[in-house]
Amino acid sequence: MSPREILRRLFDVAIAAADPALCVPPHLPPDDGGRLIVIGAGKASAAMARAVEDHWSGPLDGLVVTRYGHGVPCERIEIVEAAHPVPDAAGERAAQRILEKVQGLNENDRVLALISGGGSALLVAPAAGITLAEKRAITTALLRSGASIGEMNCVRKHLSAIKGGRLAAAAWPASVLTLAISDVPGDDAAVIASGPTVGDPTTAVDALKVLDFHNIAIPEALRARLLSGELETPKPGDPRLANGEFRLISSPRQMLEAAATEAHALGVTPLILGDAIEGEAREVAKVLAGMALSSRAHGYPAQAPCVLLSGGETTVTLKADNGRGGRNSEFLLGLALALDGTPGIHALAADTDGIDGSEDNAGAFVAPDTLARARALGVDPRQRLAGNDAWGFFAALDDLLVTGPTRTNVNDFRALLVGLE
């Protein structure tokens, strides 16, 4: 197999390890013939709903919301598609309907919540007195600022009528079982999709600190409401959350371990660097490039042939208004510059949901000849990086990885293959 084929094989194995059809059924509650109300949100939620339908014979109904293009046909659970990462009216309507489905229940009712990455933007129900337009503006500003996913979700929870434990509180006293596929560093239940069914340890003042740190202006009336505690979320230990159970059914660690097992089978030594790597994409690229160069030259931290695997979620601080490309493409462009054509190092980075940012690619490939081919075409890599146009750079080389929606989401997958020509 060629280096590119090996990288693509490792990515495919990683995706397969997080397939809802495999990871949902073992965690379903006992099917005793009673009614099950299914709700959910995220890029994997439609595929999760389909897995529930395929393995549940009793009465079943519900509603989940997923990103446009990520839907899966279901017969008993309604699938709604909405915008991500900036929310739209379709997501707002779906969130309101989900809230309505869990209200008025009793202690004999059972709710199954299917939660995955992307759910925070899709499950948009602004708190009273906050408009969708205001939430869209704040979300856009946070995305441009380079804020981490934890910071973004802290803010989202305190502007919401459904996130930060409010969904489970609305369902009380019914039992709520949450099955979650993690896309966040650390797999924190309160961060995945902004934790709609678990207590929120952050505060409204924490949310205000995030906004101020990133210089994001908000209306003075909203600032006053955050300071007053009016927009506070249910906290861990809230009695309305006592009938809830949270299960993590797939994670970045599991997909990296699956890729590592496959690398061994292919005769390549894997080294998992971590599943929770964060930071500015182009700066993370410099660090991982240094590790790859050291492995090639000195056999440390891994002896070639080897593959350096990592997950997590980097960020991009936008410097240009017309740039195109997500964090994985920008990581790879920074990586190509840091490697500077060193022989024997190839790389792939991609978002496991199949969409890197807002473009049509999951990620891209880097090879030793990447910079040389670009310059032969008159494409300046440093200029493209400065303009946040990593998508345009790799599109010109025909090096984009396009998979379409994978209907799962365990965050970013990065693989640096060292020692194969």
pLDDT in tens, 6-41: 999 999 999 999 999 999 999 999 988 888 999 999
> 143, 83 in Cβ contact below 8 A?
no
- Cβ atoms of 282 and 389 within 8 Å: the answer is no
- Backbone φ, ψ for residue 364 (5° rounding): -165, 180
Regarding whether 340 and 214 lie in a shared domain, the answer is: no
Residue 261 sits in the same domain as residue 316: yes
Environment class of 210 (CB within 10 Å of its CB; exposed 0-12, middle 13-18, buried 19+): buried
d(CA 116, CA 300): 36
If asked whether residues 290 and 186 sit together in one domain, one would say no
Answer yes or no: is 18 within a domain.
no
Nearest to 200 by CA among 154, 151, 242: 154
Q: Are 227 and 344 in a shared domain? A: no
**Domain coverage including residue 187:** 31-250
Whether residue 295 lies inside any domain: the answer is yes
pLDDT for the residue numbered 149: 86
**Percent with pLDDT over 70 in the chain:** 100
CB atoms within 10 A of CB 276: 16
> Binning pLDDT at 50, 70 and 90, where does residue 122 land?
very high
Of the pLDDT bands very low, low, confident and very high (cuts 50, 70, 90), residue 105 is very high
Distance CA 390, CA 410 (A): 22
Whose CA is closest to 51, among 291, 392, 407? 407
What mean pLDDT is predicted for residues 217-242?
Answer: 95
Quote the number of domains for the chain.
2
- pLDDT in the model for residue 357: 83
Task: Specify whether the CB–CB gap between 131 and 219 falls below 8 A.
Answer: no
* Per-residue pLDDT at 123 exceeds 80: yes
Instruction: Indicate whether 146 and 276 sit together in one domain.
Output: no
Please give the helix or strand (H or E) that residue 110 lies within, else none. strand 110-116
Q: Is 113 helix (H, G, I), strand (E, B) or coil?
A: strand
Please give the helix or strand (H or E) that residue 191 lies within, else none. none
pLDDT at residue 283, as a whole number: 97
Same domain, 91 and 138: yes
Query: What pLDDT does residue 412 have?
Result: 96
**Mean of all residue pLDDT scores within the chain:** 95
Residue-wise pLDDT tens digits, 139-196: 999 988 989 888 999 999 999 999 999 999 999 999 999 999 999 988 999 999 999 9
CA distance 170 to 122: 18
19 is a domain residue: no
User: Does 17 reside within a domain?
Assistant: no
Question: Which of 227, 250, 273 is the C-terminal boundary of a domain?
Answer: 250
Q: Strands (DSSP E) along 256-344, which ranges?
A: 269-280, 306-315
- At 313 the pLDDT is 92
* 31 compared with 349, residue with greater pLDDT: 349
**Residue 318, pLDDT score:** 84
- What local confidence, expressed as pLDDT, does residue 12 receive? 98
Q: Is the pLDDT of residue 319 over 90?
A: no
Is 244 found in the same domain as 101? yes
Strands (DSSP E) along 158-243, which ranges?
175-181
> Region 54-68: what's the mean pLDDT?
95
Q: Rounded to an integer, what distance in angstroms lies between the CA atom of residue 51 and that of residue 25?
A: 7
269 in the same domain as 223: no
Strand order, beta sheet including 60-67:
77-82, 60-67, 36-41, 110-116, 175-181, 244-250
CATH number at 243 reads 3.40.50.10180
Strands 412-418 and 306-315: antiparallel
Q: What is the pLDDT of residue 175?
A: 96
